Structure 1
Amino acid sequence: MLDFTQRLLLCALLGSVYASCPPRCECSEAAHTVKCVSKDLRTVPTGIPGYTRNLFITGNQISRIGPESFTGLENVTNLSLSNNRISEVESHTFARLRSLRTLDLSNNQLAVIHPEAFTVQNQSLRELNLSRALYNHSSVLDLATCLRWSSLGSLRVLDLSDNSLIYLPSRIFSHLTNLRRLQLSNNSLVAIHNSTFLGLERLEELDLTLNALKTVPEEGLTELDSLPRTTLLLGENPFICKCGIEPFTMWLNRSQGRIRDVEGLVCSFPASMRNTSLLVAGRLTLGCHQRDAGGDLALQTSYVFLGIVLGFIGLIFLFVLYLNRKGIKKRIYDMRDACREVWEGYHYRFEIDSDPRLSQVSSSADV
């Protein structure tokens, strides 16, 4: 009888645990984990057990999340919402997840990110994954505002890779003062501007591989020098090795200890220098400045010589005019008198034509 009672209690306990798991989800109390993977969910399921620390809701059709989506989940530490087609994240969506440390929103279509979308109590969030998550240019601006307003002072890792970013708004990371790793790989960044990385004094790793950097001008080099503790990754960029790249190559040689993949940095253009190491490209292209200087000197000499010739021709012309000044003056007077006679003749004919009586007198005189 006792064994039957124990079995009945055990079955009831297991039944209550099973019943507490949301439909179409898998729950494990022992692992403190709930998985709702590829179940065609339209919203975040309700009834997620309070013991959950690891929550995976991925591969569904959830378009929007808000503060009501995660009530009663104060113990969740790791939250994955990847590949859900989420387009909008409202302010304070994760505010009640006071233990949240890792948030994965990768592979979504974030078009609207509200200003305090990533605010979490106690500033517990340490890792934020937004890889392949930003939908368009406006979402980048929303993100810049959100990173300033969401109180992410404790964030350590931010992943913005694979987002087709062309540029980064100024001071976008200025409030992430404790960030250690920033991943910007596989975007379309064309330049590093002043104040791009302002506020990242504690950054330890910056990944800029697989972007569209053709060179890094002095403004960008100054910006990178403002991150003295940071290890850089710059590989797989289409660097153009032409006149003007020398400051960049000199900086690379000076900063080899900070650039993890410096040995693999090569020229992509022109074809004659393709796969040439950037560490030596500056010395190979330095001659073009010498050739340009020689060309500029020759061009300046040509201009001077042409000026002298034209000036000499002008002097000769003025001297000829001076020698023939009397004849020129006589010709001018003759032309003036001839023009006056012609004008008076035209004036006389006009008066005759305009007065019929004068016209008859003129005809009689002709007979």
Structure 2
Amino acid sequence: MSRRPARAGGCGGWWPWLGLALLPLAVPPAAAPGGCPSPCYCVATPQLVQCRYEKLEELPKELPLAVHNLSITGSNLSVLPRAAFAARPLPQLRLLRLRHDNIQVVEELALRGLPALQTLDLSHNPLLAVAAGAFAEAPLLRTLQLNQALLAGPVEEQLALALGNLSLRRLELGGNALRALPAALLPAGLEELDLRNNSLQRLVPPELQSLGGPGLRGLRLTLGANPLSCDCALRPFLAWLRAAPARVPDARSLHCSDPPPLRGFTLLRLRPEVLVCSAAGEPGRLETASYVFFGIVLALIAIVFLMVLYLNRRGIKRWLHNLREACRDQMEGYHYRYEQDADPRCTSTISTPGL
């Protein structure tokens, strides 16, 4: 009788310890500080975080403090808000890639909280508005990628203000249908400018002079996949290209798109005398306009000539009548002489005195 309570008491002493051991399994573990947010995943280590094709409408809140590269692709962010990373700064983030995220607006001080950022990729976003101080809190920003990001609206002037105080080394503007060199977007000290797959036909002398200005003398251009027009207006650019081929790393791959006889011809193999001059300005349109103008002038001359003929129809008629009478008299004289020469009697009479 006295041992039963002792056994029950001994068994009851193990239950509290067993409950404490199973408690972590019953309660869901909390997210570890500095771990990956739920819609994203870390590659190898928390230093590389990717959020690919997740329908995010705002930037993830809980990001690892040690992240170096952050990639958010295929979301619907719409706006890169002011101080987007200020609540939880990422002091070691060096590369921020925001591609295909439908970003239309970049607000003031959008990069606050990213003091070590060196590369920002906003490619494939329909940018409509960029604040003047959008990148002001990124003093180490050296590479800005804006490929196919300037097609939705004219934001070149806004970007020029936003890039004015930066120390960029590389700027990518590929696929933006640019027809001229965006000189306003070139901050002093820029070393590489990617203008591939645009709508450039040539670089005109003022643009070439801007490339020789202070701060841009070492700038290298990439111009592949542009519809270069090999006409007379290309001569200044061709001379500049041959004088400094190192400034265009893909110079040997540049080809002519127009005119048809030179289509596909390598640019550096062209001789200046081969480039056809039509007129100053835009060659194709002005050549057509010159033919039209020449036709109009000929039509006016023909109309004036017909009017002169009409106004002098009586004098012309009189002149034609006199000419016809003169021709008739002349023909009658020839006819008379022919008949005299053909009559043998006249011939013998004339020849008798000689006997």
- The verdict on a shared fold, with TM-score over 0.5 as the criterion, is yes
In structure 2, what is the equivalent of residue 240 of structure 1?
Answer: 229
Task: Give, in whole Å, the separation in 2 of the partners of 1:286 and 1:74.
Answer: 55
In structure 1, what is the equivalent of residue 299 of structure 2?
Answer: none
* Aligned-residue offset at 1:21: 3.7
Q: Please give the per-residue CA displacement for 1:162-201, whole angstroms capped at 9, x wherever unaligned.
A: 122334555332xx3332222122122xxxxxxxxxxxxx
Task: Give, in whole Å, the separation in 1 of the partners of 2:176 and 2:211.
Answer: 22
Structure 2 residue 243 is matched with structure 1 residue 254: yes
Structure 2 residue 37 is matched with structure 1 residue 22: yes
Q: Which residue type is aligned with residue 74 of structure 1?
A: L
Structure 2 residue 224 is matched with structure 1 residue 229: no
In structure 2, what is the equivalent of residue 159 of structure 1?
Answer: 172
In structure 2, what is the equivalent of residue 304 of structure 1?
Answer: none
RMSD between aligned residues: 3.8
Task: Give, in whole Å, the separation in 1 of the partners of 2:276 and 2:57.
Answer: 64
Q: Secondary structure at the match of 1:137?
A: coil
User: Against the structure 1 CA distance between its residues 277 and 116, is the aligned structure 2 distance closer, same or farther, given a 3 Å change threshold?
Assistant: same
In structure 2, what is the equivalent of residue 97 of structure 1?
Answer: 114
Structure 2 residue 205 is matched with structure 1 residue 218: yes
Task: Give, in whole Å, the separation in 1 of the partners of 2:107 and 2:83.
Answer: 10
Q: Is the 8 A contact 2:195 2:224 kept in 1?
A: no
* Aligned-residue offset at 1:43: 1.1
Task: Give, in whole Å, the separation in 2 of the partners of 1:172 and 1:19.
Answer: 38
The structure having more radius of gyration, on CA atoms, is 2
Q: Which runs of 5+ in 1 are unaligned?
A: 189-211, 290-367
Structure 2 residue 140 is matched with structure 1 residue 107: no
Structure 2 residue 178 is matched with structure 1 residue 178: no
Q: Secondary structure at the match of 2:114?
A: coil
Q: Secondary structure at the match of 2:210?
A: helix
Give TM-score scaled by structure 2 length.
0.60
Structure 2 residue 270 is matched with structure 1 residue 270: no
Task: Give, in whole Å, the separation in 1 of the partners of 2:110 and 2:156.
Answer: 19
Q: Superposed, which structure 2 residues align to 1:338-353 within 5 Å?
A: none
Task: Give, in whole Å, the separation in 1 of the partners of 2:68 and 2:140.
Answer: 14
Q: Which runs of 5+ in 2 are unaligned?
A: 1-19, 279-355
Q: Is the 8 A contact 1:61 1:85 kept in 2?
A: yes
Structure 2 residue 160 is matched with structure 1 residue 144: yes
In structure 1, what is the equivalent of residue 271 of structure 2?
Answer: 282
Q: Is the 8 A contact 2:54 2:74 kept in 1?
A: yes
Q: Superposed, which structure 2 residues align to 1:299-314 within 5 Å?
A: none
Task: Give, in whole Å, the separation in 2 of the partners of 1:56 and 1:288.
Answer: 50
Task: Give, in whole Å, the separation in 2 of the partners of 1:248 and 1:28.
Answer: 46
Task: Give, in whole Å, the separation in 2 of the partners of 1:7 and 1:32.
Answer: 33
Q: Please give the per-residue CA displacement for 1:293-325, whole angstroms capped at 9, x wherever unaligned.
A: xxxxxxxxxxxxxxxxxxxxxxxxxxxxxxxxx
How many residues of Structure 1 are paired with residues of Structure 2 in the alignment? 258
2:56 maps to which of 41, 54, 62: 41
Task: Give, in whole Å, the separation in 2 of the partners of 1:130 and 1:287.
Answer: 36
Task: Give, in whole Å, the separation in 2 of the partners of 1:55 and 1:7.
Answer: 37
User: Against the structure 1 CA distance between its residues 7 and 132, is the aligned structure 2 distance closer, same or farther, given a 3 Å change threshold?
Assistant: farther
* Aligned-residue offset at 1:265: 3.6
User: Against the structure 1 CA distance between its residues 27 and 15, is the aligned structure 2 distance closer, same or farther, given a 3 Å change threshold?
Assistant: farther
Task: Give, in whole Å, the separation in 2 of the partners of 1:257 and 1:68.
Answer: 41
* Aligned-residue offset at 1:113: 1.0
Task: Give, in whole Å, the separation in 2 of the partners of 1:169 and 1:283.
Answer: 26
